[in-house]
Amino acid sequence: MLAPVSTGRNLKKADVGGIHRREFNKIMAIASAVIAFGGGQQRSSAATQKDPLGKEAGYGVSAAAFNRARRRSESLIAKMTIPERIAQLGVNTPAIKRLGVKPYHFFQQALHGLCKKGPVTSFPCALALANTWNTDLFDRIYTAVSDESRAWYKKHGGGLIMRSPPVVNMARDPRWGRMEETLGEDPYLTGTLAVHAIKAMQGNNKNYLKTAATAKHFLCYNTEDDRMTADASVDPRSFWEYHTRAFRACVEEGQVFSIMTTYNELNGLPTTANRATLTGILRDRWGFRGFVTSDYHAVTEIVKGHHFVPNLTEAVAISMEAGCDHGAGPEYQKYLLKALHLELVTESDINRALSRVMTVRFLLGEFDSPKAVPYTKISPDVLNSPAHQALAVEAARQSIVLLKNKNHFLPWDIKKIKSVAVIGPMAGVCHLGGYSGESDVRISPLQGIVEALGGGAVGGGSTNSNWLSTPNGRIITHAPGCSVEGRVNHADIAAAVDAASRADHVILVCGSDQAVDREGHDRKDITLPGAQHELIKAIYKANPRTVLVLSTNTSQAVVWEQENLPAIVCAQFAGQAQGTAIAQVIFGHYNPGGKLASTWYASVKQLPPFHDYSIIDGRTYMYFKGKPLYPFGFGLSYTTFGYSDLKIKGSPLVAGAAVTVSATITNTGDVLGDEIVQCYIQAPQSPVVRPIKQLVGFTRIKLKTGESKRVQFAIKHEDRALHYWDEKQWKFVAPPGTVKVLIGTSSADIRLRGQFDLLP
């Protein structure tokens, strides 16, 4: 095995003598990266195609349209002066009136809705959306988001190149401050959902992009407190089998048109200056045809945070040489001309980078008549339209996960309820999470519950008890009891206990927000912050008819609560309609069917060190051997489902073929419900440690009482779950043997088992 620490550190400190500075930068970047990862020069079949855009993909802009846009961009660039070209490689670019180039703003944000001040629609946060396991829902949500992006652009201008939506860094550790922005811990689930988001954002027109999506952050970015200086030391197997898989899907399957680098180092080399990843992997191996942008000021951190080169002139040169085409900050605009004069970059380097960026702008229709671009017909009326508001409700409902429901404690019959106490620091607020638009519709849990009981608008509430009476005579009490992070205040808890003791039922809404963890700030523990545990215990003692709703951005170690409370509902920042969805679940108007896209651990003691990027060291459901609080893929329902009649066809599986796995799922309970059927495999024995199990397929189905449906999964020979990265051969290999097939309702609840033979 090659050492995970590269030689870049030593090279950069060496006496370079008479070597030309540009050659020094080039040698340093290539040598350090290849030693770290190996195989960077190898090309996949996708990279060797004539052009991966077009008929091969079966959707989106055609190869002809892409090539036409590239030629037009090169023609336009040839008419620009050097300073004009450089000025187009920053966040805010000036107009070039004589050439018809308008000012442009890079980038817009659309992680789970357009990040603008309303009217815009805010859907559940990315991690909550991943809990839906619903590709069709992703198509509809991100079609709505891209519609609103186009509508906003038509009304206000700005830009159509998004710094999102897919954050495809893996949720390997719940302490990471940006876990809420991810699509979970599994590379297959993440890659699948990200591809659907990208396709819906970029559209299905053969000549134009609807918007340009950006997959971020490339690569191995999972810490916040030290993200400007951290070095992610990654072993080759974890790198190829885990951290890169979703990005590969975004490029090869999603045909994403932008990739963003990270702030951190990867095995000793800043990712924004890593030629092996930005050129060797993205372009040579995967056939990426878009442009690479740095994260905001990431080029500056090559000097300031990592001390990799002594000044920003060399930082922009080494970044561009590595394959970073665009600076999401002012660095390229300020220092590229000097780098050119010092011969650290060439004019052709600048032209190549700008061509990649301008090709995307041409594909967005910026330089064509609006009549020729079909997406210009989208009206501003779509911004938080009634249809999008209804979709936000549906997305919120599908994202909710029922974690516990002892003795059918839920749902509650709303006709029998006389009084309800709504308690907890998250009850009166509608938290949307990071990178959220300011929607003009924000329904808090309290508001949703009051409306469900027949009441009207309510305020956010204070630390004291607030009594509300609905028109039908029901009484509602609201008492926060504590703040999210604050210490115990006995008077506040006493007021909440008093409210709980007087009510028939208690809805306790607790969790965390951006004060606890966010971009730039990791959390040290995974328990509920502040005095919330104390509040929960006091409320349950006062009234055992209590349901806990977790309105949170990430997982929480609610061990005592799981052992004692009768019901727990997970509503990870579920968007502008979260209160409506929560109320519908509690009162039985909707049967929850979401499943966790990440493992919920019982304690940080179950986790490897935070900065350990090796997936094999007991991380995620694939390698974790302990007992989690809630396993990956877990979620309950108000009904039950039966699994039967497993069939496997196509064994033995040979290169170029696929096996078909099918099973019958039946609603054996009393109410309509959704089931998320999950297909896992256990790979054949091999010389290395393989995952305990790996997800290879999933589907969300709706079943009436007594109804049965046949589900089917195809497992192809080239499926990455069947392969492992051979560190001696520096390639993926699939050893022959018996593959076990596991069909279940979660990673820990397998209902059907079978097997097939795998041949080389």
Q: Which residues are catalytic?
A: 295
- Count of positions (residues) in the chain: 760
* Distance (Å, whole) CA 420 – CA 473: 12
* Distance (Å, whole) CA 425 – CA 513: 10
Of the candidates 560, 552, 572, the residue with the CA atom closest to the CA atom of residue 602: 560
Torsions phi, psi for 706 (to 5 deg): 80, -5
Q: CA–CA distance from 8 to each of 34, 219, 235, 311, 370 (Å)?
A: 10, 17, 16, 17, 49
Return the half-sphere exposure (C-beta side, CA atoms, 13 A cut-off) of residue 163: 21
Torsions phi, psi for 446 (to 5 deg): -60, -45
Do residues 153 and 160 touch, judged by C-beta distance below 8 A? yes
Do residues 485 and 518 touch, judged by C-beta distance below 8 A? no
Do residues 131 and 596 touch, judged by C-beta distance below 8 A? yes
- The tokens of 402 are what? 């029922």
* Distance (Å, whole) CA 230 – CA 223: 8
- The tokens of 726 are what? 């051979």
| Site of tokens 């659309």 | 110
* Distance (Å, whole) CA 479 – CA 466: 6
Which amino acid does the sequence have at 35?
A: I
* Pairing status of strand 214-218 against strand 231-232: unpaired
Name every residue whose Cβ is closer than 8 Å to that of residue 564 and which is 6 or more positions away in sequence.
540
Of the candidates 297, 235, 262, the residue with the CA atom closest to the CA atom of residue 176: 262
Which amino acid does the sequence have at 126?
A: A
Using alpha carbons only, how large is the chain's radius of gyration in Å? 26
Q: CA–CA distance from 630 to each of 512, 596, 706 (Å)?
A: 18, 8, 28
Beta-ladder partners of 665: 643, 709
* Distance (Å, whole) CA 580 – CA 189: 27
* Distance (Å, whole) CA 497 – CA 178: 34
Which amino acid does the sequence have at 715?
A: I
Q: CA–CA distance from 108 to each of 150, 484, 551 (Å)?
A: 11, 31, 27
Do residues 677 and 743 touch, judged by C-beta distance below 8 A? yes
Angle at which helices 347-363 and 312-322 pack, to 10 degrees? 60
Beta-ladder partners of 757: 738
* Distance (Å, whole) CA 591 – CA 636: 10
- The tokens of 254 are what? 């999603």
- The tokens of 121 are what? 């629609």
Torsions phi, psi for 469 (to 5 deg): -120, 130
Do residues 715 and 683 touch, judged by C-beta distance below 8 A? no
